[in-house]
A and B are shown apart, each in its own frame.
Chain A
């Protein structure tokens, strides 16, 4: 968790962000009251299962929500003090891909198949940095070196289909970094990649952060990826934040019952081998994620939570400070040891 200098400045501040989509069935509250800040050089993980709102949070920050389908219904997004909610599209274009840029899960669908990768990197540099053709191409070459693509000069003139999946993701990173952004949003950047290639890309992202001081928002469903790369983590569920903590703290004492459930549900490679034939049961989280169309007055996780009481079903728990920079949206944990004891008792009962 080494952070480069000037790490105390918040470059991005998101306050009570709410993003909605209109559907035939009603309004979907995809993001419902998300708040966080991001410091220079920091890697923040947004983690949760499908539909938890982690990607919509990212798209909202970049103002990429299609106005025909949805809108930012409230809250504030401040980049270096400047409010992005309500900013006109022309001004937003000067920020998007320049100061804040994004990479996606599937590079093949984000790269233009009929342009060489050199052109695609140079295009971004030329638009935002006002570079001439030659300088932009030089910049492209520099970027390919940065993302460790061997034989960069030849690769400049190749097309996306000529590259492997891992190399395409490196090209996406090169495009995203071409203008020296302050913030890089990476949405499941390694999910489509094989595990040995994933390790290469994660190492590259860590190196970039060290060298350039780029702040990274890493969106993932994979707790292993979070543990290896992030400084701080936000766990999301049903459009809401349920827990936020420094990474070591989160894995040492996960506080929210949902986070605890997730951690018990994954098969582990690092825990010592069980006997030859024994296969312990994984802890399931019963039930399903609630529909986000219906208004959920209480805690969104209450219907699936073993600890939930009447208050959990009627009143929405705020993010409560539990110390060590750790916050959790759970009334039960506000009771401190009492809640902890009960949770432990619960686990004992299951065993």
Chain B
């Protein structure tokens, strides 16, 4: 099996992107000429060390799901580079991409719409095994049974259909399907957002166990700061197509440096009535349209610290403390050593 050789070589950085850009053209008029672009992702770079989780957090429209789709090559990037296990896959044709598909799998928010309702659960998990010629016949059956057991589903439920499962079980099924081809990287796009609290805890625990056991690398996308803090090793905060802050989990939550991150943390409700009514910054206004992002710093229209310079100068992501990057003119970078 030649594809097995590919997956058995552990690369220290299974997933990295450099200056990733994804613009969607806006067309108008009789001739449908391109008159603008939605800058969904506009120059995003990160790399995820093997066996760790990068949490990608931000509000709707910040481009986090577009990053996921582009990294999966479900969308063609406008520019930039995607490096999967040390291989530049940015411009690979679908046929050439096939050999690399096994390395990266995905789990979506709503397993109900991402799992085929006409197949049994066993067929859903067995399908990738057959597609990648990993296992057939009774060997496939055994592997499916083992996967079911691993994600906490009863082996006899292979005969059931998706609608017969509860929300949490469906998400386990989605995870089993992603695991079937032994990937290096799993892109998790809001995997627990649709689940109830008690079930969410089960799925988060399962994801952490699997990562520790199999050395998986996660790109974990969520709008929920508490969930991101729980599962991540590093966190990147996105706003209007850009990463505005990126560092280790501990540094980000202990000492955020970007005013947007500060506002997000202040806005998140905390389950402790003793802590409410503290003076907190409530960010005014809405997120501007990514089709017409503000000049200068994209956050300046809502930023409590913004001044004239912020309207003009677009801040770069710079190191503000060791291993801590933020894009803010008001939080100057470390002096170069």
Contacts and interface: CB of A to CB of B under 8 A. Distances in A.
Interface in A78-107: none
A198 B269 contact: yes
A218 to B, nearest CB: 12
Interface residues of A, number: 47
B253 interface: yes
A319 interface: no
A145 interface: no
B265 A269 contact: yes
Nearest to A286: B202
A215 to B, nearest CB: 19
Interface string A248-288: 10010000000001110111111001011101011111001
Contact of B197 (A165, A221, A227): A221
Interface stretch (A23-31, A65-73, A199-207, A343-351): A199-207
Given A199-B267, A267-B229, A262 B272 contact: no
A165 B61 CA distance: 12
Nearest to B208: A279
B290 to A, nearest CB: 13
B333 interface: no
User: Interface SS of chain B: helix, strand, loop or mixed?
Assistant: helix
Contact of A228 (B166, B196, B270): B270
A266 B269 contact: no
Contacts of A296: none
Interface in A199-224: 199-200, 202-203, 221-224
B270 A199 contact: no
Nearest to B228: A267
A199 B276 CA distance: 12
Interface stretch (B76-84, B111-119, B281-289): B281-289
Contact of B205 (A167, A194, A251, A284): A284
Given A195-B267, A267-B226, A270-B275, A284 B202 contact: yes
Nearest to B284: A200
B271 A265 contact: no
Contacts of A247: 273
Nearest to A220: B269
Contact of A196 (B167, B230, B249, B264): B264
A164 B284 CA distance: 13
A62 interface: no
A267 B271 contact: no
B109 to A, nearest CB: 13
A235 to B, nearest CB: 12
Interface in B180-216: 196-198, 200-202, 204-205, 208
Nearest to A163: B286
A49 B268 contact: no
B263 interface: yes
A37 interface: no
A49 B196 contact: yes
A251 to B, nearest CB: 5
Nearest to B227: A267
Contact of A226 (B196, B208, B271, B287): B271
Nearest to B267: A199
Contacts of B150: none
A224 B263 CA distance: 16
A166 interface: yes
B229 A269 contact: yes
B267 A198 contact: yes
Given A265-B200, A273-B253, A228 B286 contact: no
B12 to A, nearest CB: 16
A266 B271 contact: yes
A149 to B, nearest CB: 12
A248 B276 CA distance: 11
B238 to A, nearest CB: 12
B223 interface: yes
Name, among A164, A166, A227, the residue most crowded by chain B CB atoms within 10 Å (CB to CB).
A227
A270 B276 CA distance: 11
Contacts of B287: 194
Contacts of B205: 281-282, 284
A269 B226 contact: yes
B267 A196 contact: yes
Interface in A17-48: none
A266 B267 contact: no
B60 interface: yes
A221 B196 contact: yes
Contacts of A195: 59, 223, 225, 264, 267-268
A240 to B, nearest CB: 16
Name, among A195, A202, A223, A270, the residue most crowded by chain B CB atoms within 10 Å (CB to CB).
A195
Interface string A270-311: 100101110101111100100000000000000000000000
28 contacts: A49-B197, A164-B286, A166-B286, A194-B59, A194-B287, A195-B59, A196-B263, A199-B269, A200-B283, A203-B282, A224-B268, A225-B269, A226-B271, A227-B270, A229-B276, A248-B273, A261-B198, A266-B197, A266-B226, A267-B226, A269-B253, A269-B265, A270-B271, A275-B250, A276-B248, A279-B208, A284-B198, A284-B202
Given A265-B198, A268-B226, A277-B233, 7 more contacts: A195-B223, A196-B267, A228-B270, A268-B271, A283-B201, A285-B201, A288-B166
Interface of A: 49-50, 164-167, 194-200, 202-203, 221-229, 247-248, 251, 261-263, 265-270, 273, 275-277, 279, 281-285, 288
